[in-house]
């Protein structure tokens, strides 16, 4: 998708209790922890300071969109308030929901390895294409997001998930699958996708 024309300001949701415990949360609807709420406010303040005029332009275009899960909605509302915007002024899009880890959701990686050693080994061998039992792979997530990207008609500000950011790295910036699947997606900072590249700000 090298011809993708629009600019995306991407924010990953703040830390949750599952993140702190290194549990696979996927599509489980886990709220933010106190640190995650602080991260959401911090990224909002940083973006207001760094790109305030662009924030105002996106707000005028009603171009704020979040995953429907609670942790992304909370992050969006806290970040918007920190930007001086009305917290509720955004829309939801189910295409931006995190990939599901299926039967592995709620487990730590040591628990996954103990319960499903063959599956854990298969994922290590091909993290992009492997889908846990009843779950999704990054490849499946990227296929879901491809249609969403093609539907965009303007620049957009989104709050979503680590897996979504990794899929966007592949789709927009042609990051190799194995590299994208392991890319660290930092909470409390923003990631900008533009002109076939991406960069962190804030």
pLDDT digits (tens, 9 = 90+) for 102-122: 999 999 999 999 999 999 999
In a domain, 2, yes or no: no
Give domain status of residue 80, yes or no. Answer: yes
As a whole-number percent, the residues of the chain with pLDDT over 90 amount to 96
Spatial separation of the C-alpha atoms in residues 24 and 45, rounded to whole Å: 29
pLDDT at 5 over 90: no
Kindly tell me the burial class for residue 123, based on how many C-beta atoms sit within 10 Å of its own C-beta (0-12, 13-18, 19 or more): buried
Let me know if residue 3 belongs to a domain: no
| Residue 41, domain extent | 8-201
- Note whether 98 and 25 are within 8 A (CB): yes
Beta bridge partners of 193: 8, 198
Instruction: Indicate the pTM of the whole model.
Output: 0.96
Number of structural domains (the chain) is: 1
pLDDT level of residue 1 (50, 70, 90 thresholds): very low
Over pLDDT 70: what percentage of the chain?
Answer: 98
Give domain status of residue 157, yes or no.
yes
- The CATH number of whichever domain residue 166 belongs to comes to 3.40.50.1240
The pLDDT assigned to 3 comes to 59
Q: Which residues contact 183 (CB under 8 A, 6 or more apart)?
A: 165, 166, 169, 175
* Other Cβ atoms within 10 Å of 107 Cβ, number: 18
The answer to the question of residue 1 being in a domain is no
């Amino acid at each position: 998708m090298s011809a993708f024309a629009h600019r995306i300001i991407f924010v990953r949701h703040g830390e949750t209790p599952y993140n702190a415990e290194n549990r696979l949360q996927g599509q489980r609807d886990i709220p933010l922890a106190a640190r995650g709420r602080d991260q959401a406010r911090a990224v909002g303040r940083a973006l207001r300071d760094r790109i305030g005029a662009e924030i105002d332009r996106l707000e005028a275009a009603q171009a704020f969109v979040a995953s429907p899960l609670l942790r992304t909605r909370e992050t969006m509302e806290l970040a918007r308030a920190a930007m001086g915007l009305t917290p509720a002024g955004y829309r939801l899009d189910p295409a931006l929901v995190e990939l599901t880890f299926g039967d592995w959701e709620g487990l730590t990686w040591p628990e996954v390895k103990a319960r499903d050693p063959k599956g854990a080994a298969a994922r290590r061998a091909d993290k992009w294409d492997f889908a846990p039992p009843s779950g999704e792979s990054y490849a499946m997530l990227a296929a879901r997001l491809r249609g969403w990207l093609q539907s965009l008609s303007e620049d957009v500000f989104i709050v979503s998930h680590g897996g979504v950011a990794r899929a966007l790295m592949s789709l927009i910036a042609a990051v190799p699958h194995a590299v994208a699947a392991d890319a660290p997606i930092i909470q409390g900072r923003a990631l900008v996708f533009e002109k076939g590249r991406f960069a962190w700000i804030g």
